[in-house]
Amino acid sequence: MLQRKAYQKLLDWKKDRNHKALCILGARQIGKTTLIRKFGKENYKNFVEINFISDTDAAGIFSGDLDVNTIITNLTAYTCQPMEPGETLVFFDEVQECPNVRTAIKFLVEDRRFDYIESGSLLGVRHREVRSYPVGFEELYQMYPMDLEEYLWANGVQKSTIQYLKGCYETGTPVTDAIHQTMCKLLYSYIVVGG
């Protein structure tokens, strides 16, 4: 698993005892789902995931009455996974495909039995279909594609080397030829890969 800066955001969110649902927005294929899965499996006893693109029937969990007990009963019956209060992260992926999730999140957060993370790529496209936005119950977080520093980590550049580079930049000191050559190659590949 690649190291991403957004993982620290997830850890900080979990530490906040009064946290809201976290809605992570961002372009497709930047690692949102992978990051949330890793976080959920490493930091919770139970991790429940519903992807509204790959499982179109899951939207039925949120049809009809949006009473919290009805939703949780539907959710536990549908997923057939253990959900222990205080020990469970529920991850709603591609929520733009099920606008009722965004409406229901207010009731789920108020209930406080479980933690919730939502993720979506094109949330603005269907915003008119959301009956009531969860103002005050949802924290939005914009995730971006891998930045250069994350790319360097992924390619084995040590944090001490990155600190050295930052120090050279701050003091205007030239870097060694060996480091310069390595960084030029990595920068070039980052630009080519990133498009």
> What is the distance between the alpha carbons of residues 120 and 118, in angstroms, rounded to a whole number?
7
pLDDT given at position 130: 55
109, burial (CB in 10 Å: exposed 0-12, middle 13-18, buried 19+): buried
Residue located via tokens 């800066």: 5
74-126 pLDDT, tens digit each = 999 999 999 999 999 999 999 989 888 988 999 999 999 999 999 988 655 44
pLDDT given at position 102: 87
What is the sign of the dihedral through the CA atoms of 117, 46, 50 and 107? negative
> What is the distance between the alpha carbons of residues 149 and 169, in angstroms, rounded to a whole number?
14
Spans of the chain, pLDDT less than 70:
1, 122-136, 194-195
Residue-averaged pLDDT of the chain: 89
pLDDT given at position 2: 77
